[in-house]
Amino acid sequence: FTMRIYNSDGSEPEMCGNGIRCLARFVADVDGAEAGQEYKIDTLAGLIRPIMQADGQVRVDMGEPILEGKQMPTTLEPTQGSTVVARELEVDGKTWTVSTVSMGNPHALVYTVDGRPIQLDDVDLFRVGPMFESHPVFPAKTNTEFVEVLSPGHVRMMVWERGAGRTLACGTGACATVVAGVLEGKTDRQCRVDLPGGPLFIEWDEGTNKIFMTGPAEFVFSGGL
């Protein structure tokens, strides 16, 4: 299959992790597919492989993260080889530490502000989200995830999506969150990411370098003209 997705502002992003789970769930329901069914879905970010699980969730092989800053793209100076990890960025009069990861689409991950760990309740997402999205260091704009660490295997995250603003969840963002968390030494390679819309379970496999995202997708309604 092939998937295309459009943001609320009309722009077309490369990928949507939540969208691909929904597409897989829809196709599986139409097919009457059983657990273990795997689909191959072409996106602008490459070939993505969702697999239906016995508990009704969808596990998605999201491929390998892109860590080279220039490919994200960002003009922030690399801190580890060609990778941008915990680089300071001034936004709205505060100093935020930003790590950049591409999952085929760009993400800026923020774990710290003014030298302190992020507390989500203190982040004014509607104010600073647009400032990050259109910051000059992100020439193609960026999705921005603000992350609060509960433990190495459990974080909270909220997201300001490029072209869509505040959303309840972001699958590619959850994947990028764990990659950045590992690079910054803040999370394990297997981590639960709690978003306003619910949890996702992310694994960055050390052997294959691939990221696996597992989460629900449920039928809501159908309509017609």
Q: Provide the pLDDT for residue 80.
A: 81
HEC states along 18-32?
HHHHHHHHHHHHHHC
Note whether 176 and 139 are within 8 A (CB).
Answer: no
Q: Provide the pLDDT for residue 214.
A: 97
Q: What is the tens place of the pLDDT at every residue in 137-156?
A: 999 999 999 999 999 999 99
Mean pLDDT of 149-174: 97
Place of tokens 């915990």: 86
CA dihedral 118, 185, 131, 213 (to 10 degrees): -100
pTM of the model: 0.91
* Residue 203 reports pLDDT greater than 90: yes
Instruction: Give the residues across from 149 on adjacent strands.
Output: 155
Mean pLDDT of 203-220: 95
3: left (phi over 0), alpha (psi -120 to 50) or beta: beta
Nearest to 155 by CA among 115, 114, 184, 129: 184
Q: Is 22 a catalytic residue?
A: no
Average pLDDT, the chain: 96
Q: Provide the pLDDT for residue 198.
A: 95
Q: Provide the pLDDT for residue 32.
A: 92
Q: Provide the pLDDT for residue 116.
A: 98
Q: Is 191 a catalytic residue?
A: no
Annotated active-site residue in 22, 170, 175, 191: 170
